[in-house]
Chains A and B, each alone.
Chain A
Amino acid sequence: MNLLRIALQSIAVNWVRTLLAIIALSSSVVGVVTVASAAATIETTVTHRALMADGSPSTLLVSGLNGAEGLTESVEWKAQLQPYVGGGSVARIAQLESATIVSEGRSDSVDISFTEPELTRNHPFEVLGGRWLGGRRDTVAVPVVVNRLEANALDLRLGGAIELRASTAETTLQALVVGVVEDGAHDQRAYVALADADAFLRGNQAQLTTSLEVAAPGLATEDLTRRLNGLSSLRGVRVDWAVQRVDTVGGLRQEVEATRSAFLVVGILGLVAGAVAVANIGLSAVRERSSELSLRRALGARRWHLPAVMVLESQLIAVVAGVVAIAMSWAIYPTLAQQFGAPYGIAAPPYPTAVAAAGILVGMGTALLGGLVPAVHSMRAPIASIMRA
């Protein structure tokens, strides 16, 4: 308690030195927190995007079902696969070779997935407006959900009437935009419930392929292929199954990890600079304060009192610097997060409080390291010199 008081008194009187130390330390902590939160933002964005676009880890796309018959068969295959993946998900996705959306006289070639509402179990799309597929259908027009890029390309509005066309056939589908989602894709896309488009798809069956997207933890391509072939021969049918792994989140995560390590090195260098600055400020203080230190010894200070006071001083400075650093990084954070998240329309992750708290601890550690050198120095102050001062 007394030592704390002594530390406070000397911090107050040497306010220039204190200020310098706070600036040095808080800059390095801001650096670390910024770098760490940038890394966190990048990771969140990249991961989230990969999840939305390509599904959770171990997502396999099974193709080989063609035409109207394939579409019909897909129901049965889905039922066969469901028990195999347990809690995992199986979603049917039908696609036409090429399709366009026409809205107010403008048309745009778009990748349309005729699928099931449970697709989002494996793809955590963000609904930007309106709703996702499924639920009650109360219009004649078929509900369509478009991604952000498509909404922008055709300037689509919620509730707007559009028309879906396959490139070769005359049959069209009258539709209604019911939702806009961020799906992490790089191109324009639209989603329609399979159940709503059955006739339309069969009418264009020459271009129709149906796939099954199967996602379950630990699912391997070979195992699934073997399983499918087994099921085929049991049912006495021949299908040229093609099973392809489509998830990307694992690979991306590894890449981000590398980036993160590089960031970490930068952050550590910043901390080292901070520690050196604190040590330097402290060391010059010891020289300047050597008579104070030996006088204190003459007045009964134990040998360890002086380093204890210096360490306390550095820790008090560190706490203030940490608070300053957190305030600064908190102010910077939205801009920073915007930088990495916004281009993909992904909401920035919340301010990394854990990183900030770690920042304070790191600041205290840095100050401790920096304060240790002067503290050890202070123990060596020759106390007899006070008599010749």
Chain B
Amino acid sequence: MAEPVIQLRGVGKAVPGLPHLLSDVSLSVERGSSVAIMGRSGSGKSTMLSVLGLLDPDFAGEYLLNGQRVDRLSSRACDRLRGTEIGFVFQRFALFAHLSALENVMVPLRHRGGSTERAMRHRAHAALDSVDMGHAARRRPRHLSGGEQQRVAIARALINDPALILADEPTGSLDADTGRTIVSLLLGRVAEQGAALVVVTHEHDVAAEMDDLLRLTRGTLAPGSEVPAPAADHRPPALAEAGA
């Protein structure tokens, strides 16, 4: 019934030294649904997100966003779509240190343009309220906890009502409890706005919350088991620490 927000068909991507980093990725995510992508470190998960996020136009295969072919788009059109249709959440929040929470949330609005300062502020306040961060609007990121920063980042990702949310290890820098609240917040907001959510994660708890679980191995996506696999998929602590 629901039309897919994204459809990948046979997407391939080569990078120097890894000619088949992504070799045949097919994926379809519907409005209001979520999918978890798991995989070893270096398997190409982030690379796949950058393809999905139109950050990297250099790939093979077909990509449809909201039913429209976007794999041959000009960089100008990509910029526009990225601003309006896609929201990013990063492992390490990626807030601008020199801006207040409110100003951080306003960044996508500023680049999008076309509304008054008042309207933008109003909207950003509402977005902060929706992630329970209305009280911290004037605070700089360094005065916020990790969980609070990620809430602000989620408000920023959702500010333009995007159809697609891409989250790269959104709980990777948070403790388990905070991670859980962030995931439920993300799922709640996504459901409310009717967006599609793609989450890359190493945590089975997080993956289990999503509608679907896929595993990226040898350049292709395959259905993943809900059963936590042992040590094989566990990142060495040093890597987890570095957030690579």
Contacts and interface: CB of A to CB of B under 8 A. Distances in A.
A binds B: yes
A387 B53 contact: yes
Contacts of B244: 388
A106 interface: no
B79 A2 contact: no
Highest count of chain B CB atoms <10 Å: which of A13, A296, A299: A299
A376 to B, nearest CB: 16
Given A298-B53, A302-B79, A384-B50, A9 B160 contact: no
A1 B112 CA distance: 12
B46 interface: yes
B94 A389 contact: yes
A12 B113 CA distance: 22
B79 A303 contact: yes
Interface in A348-389: 383-384, 386-389
A153 interface: no
A384 to B, nearest CB: 4
Interface stretch (B19-27, B102-110, B142-150, B206-214): B102-110
Contact of B46 (A10, A305, A387): A387
Nearest to B84: A300
Question: Interface SS of chain A: helix, strand, loop or mixed?
Answer: helix
B50 A387 contact: yes
Contacts of B117: 1
A388 B110 contact: no
A383 B75 CA distance: 11
A387 B111 contact: no
Nearest to B113: A2
B99 A9 contact: yes
B8 interface: no
Nearest to B110: A2
B55 A298 contact: yes
Nearest to B100: A9
Contacts of B76: 302-303
Contact of A10 (B47, B83, B84, B98): B98
Contacts of A73: none
Contacts of B50: 384, 386-387
Question: Interface SS of chain B: helix, strand, loop or mixed?
Answer: helix
Contact of A6 (B46, B49, B110, B168): B110
A296 B96 CA distance: 10
A148 interface: no
A296 B98 contact: no
A300 B108 contact: yes
A181 B158 CA distance: 81
B111 A301 contact: yes
A224 interface: no
B121 to A, nearest CB: 12
A387 B47 CA distance: 7
B63 interface: no
Contacts of B75: 303
A217 to B, nearest CB: 61
A389 B96 CA distance: 14
A347 B50 CA distance: 70
A226 interface: no
B203 interface: no
Interface in A4-51: 5-6, 9-10, 12-13
Highest count of chain B CB atoms <10 Å: which of A3, A13, A296, A383: A383
Interface in B90-141: 90, 92, 94, 96, 98-99, 103, 107-113, 117
Contacts of B96: 292, 295
B55 A296 contact: no
A26 to B, nearest CB: 24
Interface in B46-63: 46-47, 49-50, 53, 55-56
In the A-B complex, the 3 residue pairs with the smallest Cβ-Cβ separation, listed nearest first, are A300-B83, A13-B98, A2-B110
Interface of A: 1-3, 5-6, 9-10, 12-13, 292, 295-303, 305, 383-384, 386-389
Interface of B: 46-47, 49-50, 53, 55-56, 75-76, 79-80, 82-84, 88, 90, 92, 94, 96, 98-99, 103, 107-113, 117, 156, 160, 168, 244
5 contacts: A9-B98, A299-B111, A300-B83, A302-B111, A384-B55
